[in-house]
Amino acid sequence: MSARRSQEKPTVRRAWGEEPPVEDAAERTRRQKLKEFAHEKTPEKLKNPTDIQVRFRTGFVYVAVSVICVVVSEWTTLLLMVLTAGISAGEFYYMLRSDAKLPNEMLGIIGAILYPISVFFLGIVGVVYVSLLLLLALITWYVFWMRARIADVGVSFFGAAYTGMLLSGFIVIRGALPDPWGGLLVLGIFLSVWANDSFAYLFGRKFGKHKLAPRTSPKKSWEGFIAGLVASMIFWVLISFIPGVAMSIPLAALFGLLCGLAGVLGDLAESRIKRNSGFKDSGTIMPGHGGLLDRCDSLFLVSVISAVLLVCGGCIPYV
């Protein structure tokens, strides 16, 4: 019996610190050879990408997914807003925990997700329902969890409203016009925000000499700020030609200016949150950009401001 056991193959499990079996070493060697082969076949310019290249590739994937979701249907737009709100809220609470805050992440993320869903099915009144339910849940949590403070309740509520409630403006805009014009309208606003960010970044990096907000965001310049606003106004003028949008060119330029300012304010607000919490980036989900909150910070205020301007200005119907 002992001779038979000695001939059996060793089990896969091994003690901590024990040398790996020969099969594992061979497998690692094979994988290493495959990596070396793939590295040799990779074009030279892709082996050591610069920060701009990494930023461009990540941004391209993000833009492609966003464009597809916004254009396909209202349901895919809702899915995009829900995922963006949930992930951004999670990153927000993660940063605030480092700032000696104890937010209720579960209730906050659920609230952020429910905001666009409620607006999709119930309209603006859905915001009221979700806000009341979230506030009631947070008060109950505060009463029965002795470590919670009033500041923690405020942070929990603010995180959900900052990400989910503000993004719900795109749900209102998307449903105001029939397909494909509703999708093109939201896409046009997205493009205005991206153009604002991109032109401000590129123009400021090339020509920026005067700091816009050195204590909050040292890399931003007045030159980039002005270039971004001009780009936003140009795209809003193009938006005025979408069928179903009743907006004159001067009014479109004004709305582009206001939304451009809102985008910059949203960007600076998120930069202030990161600086107070001691973070350079809100996360690592998007290489070259940081977290999703870093990439979408300008969208939050633009979403609600553009919805208010378009609906109250009579440019689109409120459905």
Each domain of the chain, given as residue ranges in start order, spans 66-312
CA distance 116 to 250: 31
What is the pLDDT averaged over residues 200-212? Answer: 77
pLDDT of residue 197: 87
Position 17 confidence tier, pLDDT thresholds 50, 70, 90: very low
Q: Which of 12-16, 117-121, 272-276 has the highest mean pLDDT?
A: 117-121
- On the question of pLDDT at 30 being above 70, the answer is no
In sign, the C-alpha dihedral spanning 143, 146, 149, 153 is: negative
The answer to whether the CB of 223 falls within 8 A of the CB of 210 is yes
Q: Which residues of 87-126 are buried (b: 16+ CB within 10 A; e: fewer)?
A: bbbbbbbbbbeeeebbbbbebbbbbbbbbbbbbbeeeeeb
- Calculate the average pLDDT of the chain: 83
Would you state the pLDDT for residue 274?
84
pLDDT band at 1 (very low <50, low <70, confident <90, very high): very low
Most confident of 7-21, 36-50, 134-148: 134-148
Higher pLDDT, residue 21 or 224? 224
Among the ranges 18-32, 155-169, 188-202, 209-223, which has the highest mean pLDDT value? 155-169
98 pLDDT band, cuts 50/70/90, is confident
For residue 222, count CB atoms less than 10 angstroms from its CB and return exposed for 0-12, middle for 13-18, buried for 19 or more.
Answer: middle
Span 19-47, average pLDDT:
53
Phi (first) and psi of residue 217, to 5 degrees: -145, 90
What's the average model confidence in pLDDT over 173-188? 95
Q: What confidence tier does 310 reach under pLDDT thresholds 50, 70, 90?
A: very high
CB 301 within 8 A of CB 270: no
Mean pLDDT calculated for residue range 27-52:
55
Residue pair 163/282 in contact (Cβ under 8 Å)? The answer is: no
Separation CA 268–CA 291 (nearest Å): 15
User: Residue 26 above 60 pLDDT?
Assistant: yes
Instruction: Identify whether the C-beta of residue 295 lies closer than 8 Å to the C-beta of residue 282.
Output: no
319: confidence class by pLDDT, cuts 50, 70, 90 = confident
Peptide bond into 21 cis (omega under 30): no
Cα within 13 Å of Cα(138), Cβ side: 28
Go through the chain and tell me how many residues it has.
Answer: 319
